[in-house]
Amino acid sequence: MGREIERKFLVHNEVWRHEVTETLVLRQGYLTSDPHCTVRVRVSNVSAWLTIKGTSVDGVTPEFEYPIPKADALAMLSSLAEQPLIEKKRHLIPRDGIVWEVDEFLGHNAGLVIAEIELLSPNQAFPFPSWIDREVTGEQQYYNACLVSRPFSTW
């Protein structure tokens, strides 16, 4: 069974930018954002995926992700996904054996910057970069599925 163990943090300065090794531009939409099961379509400049996530229990979320044809993903985003779409630049920062993903949101969520890491276990220790602010794991308003119905620009 697929699973995700993810932690989310706000970012408090621009120091992280000099550590970026790759940047992806992502557009994503939700076919359903029910709290018990979200179905997301995501498109990057080169690929597309369908992701199904369940409810997180003790920091572990059931997650299933499948590559899909980009043309299908674009059709789903335009005709089936809840609006507005989530648009962001995802900056990858490898550090201490972990890849930090710094999401710089665009569009209706411009101004929001969140750093995420995926861990092997809920209790895995990791060093905090100097640019990390406070943890927002579990604060629903910072989750992409919630940013569709309540964009950062409305806070």
**Ramachandran region of residue 97, left (φ > 0), alpha (ψ -120 to 50) or beta?**
left
Tokens found for residue 48: 């597309």
122 near 137, Cβ under 8 Å? no
Classify burial at 22, counting beta carbons within 10 Å of its beta carbon; exposed 0-12, middle 13-18, buried 19 or more: exposed
81 burial level (CB within 10 Å; 0-12, 13-18, 19+): buried
The answer to whether 40 and 28 are in contact (CB under 8 A) is yes
CB atoms within 10 A of CB 40: 22
One of 30, 66, 142, 143 is an active-site residue; which one? 30
Asked if 26 and 42 touch (Cβ cutoff 8 Å), the reply is: yes
30 is catalytic: yes
Which positions are annotated as active-site residues?
A: 30
